[in-house]
Amino acid sequence: MNNFTYVRATTVKDAVNRAVADQNAMFIGGGTNLVDLLKAFVKEPSQLIDISRLQMQKIEKMANGSLRLGALVTNTAVADHADIRRNYPILTRAILSGASQQIRNIATVGGNLLQKTRCPYYYDPAFPCNKRQPGTGCPAATGINRMHAILGASDQCVAVHPSDMCVALTALDAVVEVAGPQDKRQIPFVDFHRLPENTPQKDSNLAPGELITSVILPPLAFAKSGVYLKLRDRTSYSFALISVAAAVEIVDDKIKDVRLAMGGVAHKPWRATAAEKFLIGKSADISTFTQAANIALEAAQPLADNGYKVELTKRAIRRALTVSAQGGGIA
């Protein structure tokens, strides 16, 4: 691990000012991903700005019925919150399907959004990697790519975003609140993460110095029937091969509204907007869900080792939509 300085930020403004003054500084909250990256020499910040004592540790109800999750609320606290368990079961199930209880007890909302891909080449400085060091190449594109992207990749990077929680937040129309050197702003969740294109080193649309302060969950009545289905190599403590977050609202035997997002398929959580549009007004049956799954995967471009993800994701979409249409529960 390289030498770095450590400071404890006293306020959000203090944290942002310090990050603006030192562009090679990094914020640290729970540190569950960052410490691994430091130990592996993947990240070599000049300074760690400890934000863990800042006042961003509450879940608050807002006047319009939304919930505001402070950026430092732990994953465990989000998953266990009574309103979230009742009204946004997609989010509770997504969080509980990720990591271990010990990690969830310390990992934070903000940190979950900013965790790095688990592409093994990224974590091994013996290999080139465009995300770690732009312009060096992407060994995963022609190497071992069983876990990699089937949608939205570029010739620069084929990594996937590893978060379960972010797939749920994408489906739930969440909004990210950030504080920057000039002002605060809100970013719709679907616009928070990026596709790799020619800048795979950038995972999000945060500007330099910006700090995530909270995530807003808007009210969405039919999210109560939401489903999160994660498929992986083993049943615990494993990243998704693919995952699906789905919520369907049925009125008079027709689909009135729907949310559908996928994980483990792209550099960002993938909202299936074309499939959602197709589903509106249709009968909630297996034929409709099969067509929606085909639309969601229409643009898939699998690599040498991950063609299985296309059919696996289609089947997971059918299953998640079916269970949600029946009222929700464990898929």
Main-chain dihedrals φ then ψ at residue 287, nearest 5 degrees: -65, -45
Q: What are phi and psi of 188, to 5 degrees?
A: -55, 140
Tell me the closest approach of the beta carbon of residue 146 to ligand SF4, in angstroms: 12
Six token digits for residue 295: 């639309």
Q: Which of 42, 67, 71, 159 binds ligand SF4 (CB under 6 A)?
A: 159
Q: How many residues bind ligand SF4 (CB under 6 A)?
A: 14
Task: State the nearest-atom distance from the C-beta of 268 to ligand SF4, in Å.
Answer: 13
Q: Which is nearer to ligand SF4, 151 or 275 (CB)?
A: 151
Nearest-angstrom CA–CA distance, 128 and 256:
48
Shortest reach from residue 293's CB to ligand SF4, in Å:
26
Give the residue carrying structure tokens 């989000």. Answer: 78
Nearer to ligand SF4, 76 or 117 (CB): 117
CB of 122 to ligand SF4, least distance (A): 4
DSSP letter at 231?
Answer: E
Question: Rounded to an integer, what is the distance from CA 29 to the centroid of its chain?
Answer: 17
Q: Report the 3 state secondary structure along 114-134.
A: HCCCCCCCCCCCCCCCCCCCC
Over the window 86 to 125, marking each residue x when it contacts ligand SF4 by CB under 6 A and - when it does not, the resulting string is: -------------------------------x-x-xx---
Number of other residues whose CB lies within 10 A of the CB of residue 191: 12
DSSP state letter for 193: B
Name the nearest CA neighbour of 224 among 313, 70, 79, 92.
92
Report the residue number, 131 or 271, with the smaller CB distance to ligand SF4.
131
> CB of 262 within 8 A of CB of 244?
yes
* Residue from the set 26, 59, 157, 216 that interacts with ligand SF4 by CB under 6 A: 157
Nearer to ligand SF4, 201 or 283 (CB): 201
For CA atoms 318, 115, 186, 69, give the dihedral sign. positive
Residue 158 CB, nearest approach to ligand SF4 (Å) = 4
Binding mask 180-219 for ligand SF4 (x = CB under 6 A): --------------------x-------------------
Element (H, E) at 255: strand 254-263
**Cβ closest to ligand SF4, residue 162 vs residue 226:** 162
Starting at the earlier edge strand, list the strands of the sheet with 5-8.
Answer: 5-8, 47-50, 25-28
- Of 83 and 155, the one with the shorter C-beta distance to ligand SF4 is 155
Binding residue for ligand SF4, selected from 69, 114, 158, 296, defined by CB under 6 A? 158
Compute CA distances 171 → 111, 245, 314, whole Å: 19, 6, 17
Binding mask 127-146 for ligand SF4 (x = CB under 6 A): --xxx------xxx------
Which range touches ligand SF4 (CB under 6 A), out of 6-14, 58-66, 151-159, 299-307?
Answer: 151-159
By the criterion CB under 6 A, which residues form the site for ligand SF4?
117, 119, 121-122, 129-131, 138-140, 157-159, 200
